[in-house]
Chain A
Amino acid sequence: MRRVALNTAAAVTFVVMIFPVYWMVITAFKPTKDIQAETPSLFPLSPTLQHFETAMGAEGFWRFWANSLLVTAGAVLLALIVALLAAFAVSRMRWRGKGPFIVAVFAAQMAPWEALLVPMFIIARDTDLLDSLLMLTGVYFMITLPFTIVTLRGFLQAIPADLEEAALVDGCTRAVAFRRIVFPLLAPGLMATSLFGFITAWNEFAFVNVLIIKDQANRTLPVWLSSFRDVFGTDWGATMAAATMFALPALVLFLFLQRRVGAGMTAGAVKG
């Protein structure tokens, strides 16, 4: 009886969560005429790749992919490294100003990024960093950094300090102890955190819209994703096809992490 209830609930949740995504994907395969049909059909009756062709045929498609990957990966990696150092200091060391630092990091998540658009633009303009992927990477790095520190600190605290101390007693240096003992246990945490950063940076539109102006080859994918609209309206088929492709990297990353992290986590995480 309880099993049935549980499975029903799970099935309902599954349907509700997946339906909009499902709708996005099947729409991408429907001919434009079927998309606006009076009675919606739950699967493409005459599937077509036409929308994917439109989406991939857009100017600068491959450049935008490369730019997005570069900027996102750069921002996420940088944030991971910087956050790891800070998280280590916070969770393994005692020092004056630690409390305020943590509170500041937490408060940084409240940053009104929308309102920083104009100041950021002015800063970029005055330092000749408009049209530069570097500036964009910096902004995305900063947007994801506070969250990355907070969560990595959580992961680090969950790994007993005794393990490292034992290694230190055995004559390892601090760095070696960290690399050999803590890092493997922390790997799942690093990956999980990176997924969040990835999704955030990957989706960002407002900053790239005003920071990359004249050198359009430096635009990123969200610009492409929102480009299937003109004065006559949105080309839904092409938008959905583009969105499907756009969501793929995050999904692949998740599945990859899922496999890695699933095993590592239960073994390594929290025993005390």
Chain B
Amino acid sequence: MTLTTQAPPRRGQHRPPAAARRRANPWPYLLIAPAVAGGIFLLLYPLLKAALISFQHFRMGELIRGGAELVGFDNYRELLAKEEFWQVVLRTFVWTAVNVVLIVVLGTGIGLMLARLGKRARLLLMSALALAWATPVIAATTIFQWLFQSELGIVNWLLGIQGFAWFADPVAMFAVLVILVVWQSIPFVALTLYAGLTTIPNELYESARIDGGTGWQIFWKVTFPILRPLFALITSLEIIWVFKCFPQIWVLSQGGPDGATTTLPVYAFKIARVLHRYDMGSAVAMLTVVILAFALITNLRRMLKQEAAA
């Protein structure tokens, strides 16, 4: 649907309103105050508590009775010494890369397609996308579980194969989860990009076409540069979302078979809420944030630079 693009930075030509130039203007700070307050009480404070838990001996007993003891870096040491942890980290990167590439490429393709369709066909396709988006995760997951069932599943029926056990094979299970997550994520990307595309003035395309550009060239020379900030935003959001994706995986595979679909959030869940080792689960979550931040550091830097320049 409709997220407009972030306009590319307009160096020099951007002239801030007069009021903003005065020094020590309290207004901006007053305006962000509610957001900052919310962030401190509802995010930072629990986050610090979670960080504290990761340095404690905090299991089910401590949750119920209280009185957790500090244990320094014990949880982290134990975690980092596990070979499994590093496998999970690597797998999470593969999982994220595969999904994000598919989501962005297919989502872009569908977004471009939307722009070229007739009005009626476009509305129809957009409604289909919205339907997929609005389908609750638990329902979507149940349906996929069912579509890929080995005996009564409709996928095997359509493909004409007898009893192939999708959920028993590590690669097939991984693929089913990718299909599910891509299916759920495409609508946001496609609709957002379509909204962005509608903001590109038609003249730009026309002049490019007169210059004899093919569709492919026009995309790379006109569309992409203009929408670059939007692409950057979408890609980073998808990286975050896919990286942190959890309920789908847990419901369908519990991280199996043989750990083939255990990503960091699944791993953290297993440790924290199945084994009731909240302490080490918190440690995994803290490391997840650090890893994610590193993965997106270029993007964060770019944002900072952009602001400084604006």
- A–B in direct contact per CB < 8 Å: yes
Separation in Å of the B255 CB from the closest CB of chain A? Answer: 14
For A188-224 the 0/1 string (1 means CB < 8 A from B) is 1101110110010011010000000000000000100
- Contact pick for B130, options A145, A225, A239, A251, CB 8 Å: A251
Given A6-B117, A270-B5: A247 and B139 within 8 A (CB)? yes
Separation in Å of the A173 CB from the closest CB of chain B? Answer: 11
Q: Is the CB of B139 within 8 A of A116?
A: no
Q: Is the CB of A99 within 8 A of B308?
A: yes
Cα of A12 to Cα of B150 in the assembled complex, Å: 24
Residues of A within 8 A of B25 (CB): 93, 95
- Contact pick for B142, options A90, A123, A168, A239, CB 8 Å: A239
Separation in Å of the A202 CB from the closest CB of chain B? Answer: 8
Cα of A17 to Cα of B15 in the assembled complex, Å: 45
Q: Is the CB of A108 within 8 A of B43?
A: yes
- Contact pick for B303, options A106, A119, A158, A203, CB 8 Å: A106
Q: Which of B226-282 touch A at CB < 8 Å?
A: 230, 233, 236-237, 240, 244, 246-247, 265, 268-269, 272, 278, 281-282
| Number of A-B contacts defined by CB within 8 Å | 297
Closest B-chain residue to A101, C-beta based? B32
- Contact pick for B113, options A10, A39, A40, A151, CB 8 Å: A10
B3 within 8 Å of A by Cβ? Answer: yes
- Contact pick for B43, options A101, A111, A202, CB 8 Å: A111
Cα of A38 to Cα of B28 in the assembled complex, Å: 64
B133 within 8 Å of A by Cβ? Answer: yes
Q: Is the CB of A92 within 8 A of B139?
A: no
B181 within 8 Å of A by Cβ? Answer: no
Cα of A195 to Cα of B188 in the assembled complex, Å: 11
Cα of A214 to Cα of B230 in the assembled complex, Å: 45
Q: Is the CB of A36 within 8 A of B240?
A: no
Most chain A CB inside 10 Å of its own CB: which residue of B32, B198, B289:
B32
Q: Which of B268-310 touch A at CB < 8 Å?
A: 268-269, 272, 278, 281-282, 284-286, 288-289, 292-293, 296, 300, 303-304, 307-308
Given A23-B147, A102-B307, A141-B42: A272 and B31 within 8 A (CB)? no
Closest A-chain residue to B230, C-beta based? A154
- Contact pick for B5, options A150, A154, A239, CB 8 Å: A154
Q: Is the CB of B63 within 8 A of A38?
A: no
Interface segment, A44-52, A59-67, A81-89? Answer: A81-89
Q: Is the CB of B16 within 8 A of A109?
A: no
Given A98-B28, A98-B307: A20 and B147 within 8 A (CB)? yes
Residues of A within 8 A of B268 (CB): 112, 114-115
**Chain A interface, number of residues (Cβ within 8 angstroms):** 106
Closest A-chain residue to B284, C-beta based? A115
Q: Is the CB of B47 within 8 A of A21?
A: no
B178 within 8 Å of A by Cβ? Answer: no
**Chain B interface, number of residues (Cβ within 8 angstroms):** 101
Closest A-chain residue to B110, C-beta based? A13
Cα of A155 to Cα of B198 in the assembled complex, Å: 14
A contacts, CB < 8 Å to B: 6-7, 9-10, 13-14, 16-18, 20-21, 23-24, 36, 38-40, 81-83, 85-86, 88-90, 92-95, 98-112, 114-116, 118-120, 122-123, 138-139, 141-142, 145, 147, 149-151, 153-155, 157-158, 161, 164-165, 168, 174, 188-189, 191-193, 195-196, 199, 202-203, 205, 222, 225-226, 234, 236, 239-240, 243-244, 246-247, 250-251, 254-255, 257-258, 261-262, 265-266, 269-270, 272
* Extra pairs beyond A100-B304, A250-B133 (16, CB < 8 Å): A14-B125, A17-B187, A40-B152, A112-B244, A112-B268, A114-B269, A118-B50, A119-B53, A141-B42, A154-B233, A158-B6, A161-B14, A203-B138, A234-B142, A236-B142, A258-B123
- 8 contacts across the A-B interface (CB closer than 8 A): A92-B17, A99-B303, A105-B35, A112-B268, A123-B46, A157-B6, A254-B133, A265-B195
B contacts, CB < 8 Å to A: 1-7, 10, 14-17, 19-21, 25, 27-29, 31-32, 34-36, 38-39, 42-43, 45-47, 49-50, 53, 63, 110, 113, 116-117, 121, 123-140, 142-144, 146-147, 152, 154, 157, 183, 186-188, 195, 198-199, 230, 233, 236-237, 240, 244, 246-247, 265, 268-269, 272, 278, 281-282, 284-286, 288-289, 292-293, 296, 300, 303-304, 307-308
